[in-house]
Amino acid sequence: MSIEKFSFPTPIHFGVGARKLVGPHLKNLGFKRPLIVTDKALNDLPLMAEFIAHLSGLEVAVYAGVHGNPTASQVTAGGAAFKAHNADCVIGLGGGASLDVAKVVGLAATHDGPILEYAWDHPKVRSITGTLPYFVALPTTSGTGSEVGRAGVLTNSLTHKKKIIFHPKLLPVVVICDPALTVGMPRFITAGTGMDALAHCLEAYCSPFYHPMSQGIALEGMRLVFENLPKVYANPNDLDARAHMMSAAAMGAVAFQKGLGAIHSLSHPVGAVYGTHHGTTNAVVMPMVLEMNRPAIEDRIVKAAAYLGFEGGFAGFHDQIMELRTLLNIPENLSAMGVQFGDLDMLTEMALEDPSCGGNPIAMTRENTRALFDACM
């Protein structure tokens, strides 16, 4: 497989071995002191030492404070690490959490004030006025598509609410997509991140808003997931399927500018309160949300099923999701993930405050959202 280069919405170097291009790329631009932002687990793997070896000639520092769902405190600590190293650029290496933190580390290092005051819904939201450090993103999972997004999602540790910092300046300047970086993922991460990519494509496809380009991207992204996620789950070394999943993840993130919906508005509070894996939580609630939205989306799903080669229209599409969940050993419901019935009223209120609920095909109310949580239990 050759390394290809294309732009949508930012320059992307795509192919096995592309990770080796980062060092020469930065040196050609005159950068000397990168800060790598990654998670604790990845930092301990041989992959990190191998990647740093490709950065020879650069003064490299590593901030490996990312873990679980990213928090504001992780970003603040990363900003401090950037300043301590006197860094001149940021390399984000990891899954969606690491890339979300890496995006905002440069903001924390160059702008004043608590980082959550830059969230779009803060009562006195701060403006991003200055130039952010040069940012290169290397995803090691195929799920969030954070590498092609303009947003960083952070959890407020005090309120357990997820906040979104959104700005065009957060978009990575260049993306390095190397499918070989995803080979070492544990199987449950392969499953959860892959279902996250499917959730992004599915919700974007079903969103009631008008965006025909995203609509087409979402449909093709779903095809890539259904065809390739079972392959990489069965054979982690299938680099062609890994590449297709990496494409699907980026496509989902591009597509969901059309909108997300109840899958994400439910999974965000569950993840914030219980620390569950985001993509896996999306997979758990996906069929129940599909049923809730059926009156508004059935015709659209029937067309998608035909494109994907699924028989049975809406029911056939639903069955394919259930079969994929079973194949990937996704938990059956939220109860199996540890969610407690006593928290459902709180989670309902949090879901209604989540910005994703505004893109659901059926308007989310306190009544139908609570009923949806009950169905997911």
Instruction: HSE, CB side, 13 Å, CA atoms: give it for residue 171.
Output: 17
Q: Report residue 326 as tokens.
A: 């079973």
Q: Quote the pLDDT of residue 175.
A: 96
Q: Quote the pLDDT of residue 6.
A: 61
SS3 content of the chain, % helix, strand, coil (to 5): 60, 15, 30
Bridge partner residues of 63 (DSSP): 37
Sign of the alpha-carbon dihedral angle for 262, 264, 270, 276 = positive
The residue type found at 160 is H
Bridge partner residues of 136 (DSSP): 91, 174
The DSSP output letter for 34 is E
**Residue matched to tokens 């999943």:** 245
d(CA 256, CA 203): 7
Q: Listing from the earlier edge strand, what are the strands of the sheet with 61-66?
A: 4-7, 11-14, 174-177, 134-139, 89-94, 34-39, 61-66
> Following DSSP, what letter does each residue of 184-240 receive, concatenated?
T--HHHHHHHHHHHHHHHHHHHH-SS--HHHHHHHHHHHHHHHHHHHHHHH-TT-HH
CB-based contact 201:252 (threshold 8 Å): yes
Please report how the helices 212-234 and 239-255 are oriented relative to each other, as an axis angle in degrees rounded to 10: 150
Q: Quote the pLDDT of residue 7.
A: 61
Question: What pLDDT tens digit does each residue of the chain (377 aa) get?
Answer: 678 776 677 899 999 999 999 999 999 999 999 999 999 999 999 999 999 999 999 999 999 999 888 999 999 999 999 999 999 999 999 999 999 999 999 999 999 999 999 998 888 889 999 999 999 999 999 998 999 988 888 888 787 778 889 899 999 999 999 999 999 889 999 999 999 999 999 999 999 999 999 999 999 999 999 999 999 999 999 999 999 999 999 999 999 889 999 999 999 999 989 999 999 999 999 999 999 999 999 999 999 999 999 999 999 999 999 999 999 999 999 999 999 999 999 999 999 999 899 999 999 999 999 999 999 99
| Burial of 226: CB neighbours in 10 Å, binned 0-12, 13-18, 19+ | buried
pTM, two decimal places: 0.91
Q: Quote the pLDDT of residue 164.
A: 86
The residue type found at 332 is E
Of 161, 179, 151, 127, nearest to 12 by C-alpha is 179
3-state SS assignment for residue 124: coil
| Burial of 3: CB neighbours in 10 Å, binned 0-12, 13-18, 19+ | middle
Q: Quote the pLDDT of residue 68.
A: 82
d(CA 162, CA 350): 9
| Cis upstream peptide for 9 (omega within 30°) | yes
**What are the distances in angstroms from CA 11 to CA 27, 133, 220?**
18, 17, 21
> Following DSSP, what letter does each residue of 328-365 receive, concatenated?
TT--SSSGGGT--GGGHHHHHHHHHHSGGGGG-SS---
User: What tens digit of pLDDT does each residue of 84-107 get?
Assistant: 999 999 999 999 999 999 999 999
Q: Report residue 270 as tokens.
A: 């569950």
